Structure 1
Amino acid sequence: MKITREKAAENRQVLVETAARLFREKGIDGVGVAEISKAAGLTHGALYAHFPSKDALAAEAMQFSTRSAYGKVTEHPVTLAQLVDFYLAPEQRDNLAQGCPLAAAASEVARQDASVGAGYTSGFRQMVEYISQQLPAGEGQRQQALAVMAALVGGISVSRNVYKTDPELADEVLESMRSMLLKLS
């Protein structure tokens, strides 16, 4: 059965969005093409009609995720303090599927294809630029923005990693990072 170009484009977008959500939730290596296809309501043959490999899908999903996350931040601009409070909240830590793609993929991008890393790097650079604009202008502004973004990603990642075995420590990590970063705003 032949499908229209519009339906093909819609199917491709559904695959990208589904993969992006599942990759954030389970990790890129934690989910296969069959699971992605099923969750998207398509066959794995349909997936391979749009993407030559899982790496290609992962790269596009990473680009989609980081663009979407950046779009949400810039759609309703917030202060650095508001961003820190939002990002380092327990709700962000506990919601892998909807959380920041940079934090979700922080520990695995280095093991992925370079195209996945390119999407990650692009998203990281965008957020550093956004944070830089929230800081007082002057010498060291970019370095501070880099440190803030690395601390946000690292803080939420560590909190997620220790949460199952030590929820109190996980909360302490978030609160400590929040307190430290709010001193910059």
Structure 2
Amino acid sequence: MRVSKEQAARNRERILDAASRLIRERGISGMGVDALADAAGMTHGSMYSQFGSKERLVEEAVTHAVVGKEREIPDGFALGDYFSEYLSAGHRDKPGSGCPFAALCCEMPRQSGGVRERFTAGVRRMIGLLSARMASTLKPRQREEKALATAASLIGALVLARAVNDPKLSDDILRATRNHLSD
């Protein structure tokens, strides 16, 4: 039975939603096609007909996750509010709906050029977003440098807070980084 273009688009979106959540929760290598098919409520065949390969699916899932997180950021956001939200226990504890950079950065060196390209493009957009919110008294190069360091601090702190097995230390990493960035 043929699927309408509208249904195919909805199926594609459902697959990308599930894939972007699963790669953030389990990692790219931990996202099996069976688990993805179950999560999306689809068959293997429908996934391959939409994307052709797991690599292509991962490329699009990375982009989907990045764009989805960007859409959640309100226009004219205050950096302090962004830092508080990003470096929160809630964000730390829900990687499946959280920052794709913190969830996937440790896997990127082992990924294909296409996956890394999508990831890198997203990081550049995050840096641009942060740079645009930096003090206008800074010169453009200073804003970019500060945005680079801020992005690295945010992502690194979240990765480290998720990695340690001491809840107090994890909370302290988030708090100390929030305080440092807010100075």
TM-score, normalised to structure 2, is 0.94
| Counterpart amino acid of residue 8 in structure 1 | A
| SS class of match (2:76) | coil
Give the Cα–Cα distance (whole angstroms) in 1 for the partners of residues 163 and 76 of structure 2: 29
Indicate the residue corresponding to 2:9 in structure 1: 9
Matched, 1:54 2:57: no
Counterparts of 2:66 and 2:39, CA distance in 1: 21
**Structure 1 residue 161 displacement after superposition:** 0.5
- Corresponding residue for residue 71 of structure 2: 71
Give the whole-Å Cα distance in 2 for the aligned partners of 1:11 and 1:109: 27
The structural deviation recorded for 1:65 is: 0.9
Q: Which residue of 2 aligns with 1:34?
A: 34
Amino acid at match of 1:170: S
Residue in 1 that maps onto 2:154: 152
1:23-172 alignment to 2 at 5 Å? 23-73=23-73, 75-136=74-135, 137-138=138-139, 139-162=141-164, 165-172=165-172
How big is the shift at 1:76?
3.8
Q: Secondary structure at the match of 1:140?
A: helix
In the alignment, residue 145 of structure 1 is paired with which amino acid? A
CA-CA distance at 1:118 after TM superposition: 1.4
Shift of 1:115: 1.4
Q: Which moved more, 1:130-139 or 1:140-149?
A: 130-139
Superposed displacement of residue 77, structure 1 = 2.9
Distance 2:70 2:125 in 1: 7
Q: Deviations over 1:91-136 (max 9, x none)?
A: 1000111111111111111211111111211111111111111212
Equivalent position SS for 2:45:
helix
Structure 1 segments (4+ residues) deviating >2 Å: none
SS for the counterpart of 1:159 is helix
Unaligned runs of 5+ in 2: none
**Residue correspondences, number:** 180
Consecutive unaligned residues of structure 1, counting only runs of 5 or more, are none
Cα displacement string for residues 49-71 of structure 1 (whole angstroms, at most 9, x for unaligned residues):
11121111010011111111112
3-state secondary structure, aligned to 2:96? coil
Q: In structure 2, how many angstroms separate the alpha carbons of the residues matched to 1:31 and 1:126?
A: 26
TM-score when normalising by structure 1: 0.93
Amino acid aligned to 2:53: S
Contact kept? 1:70, 1:123, Cα under 8 Å: no
Cα shift readout 1:3-60 (whole Å, capped 9, x = no counterpart)? 1121112111111111001111111111111110111111111111111211110100
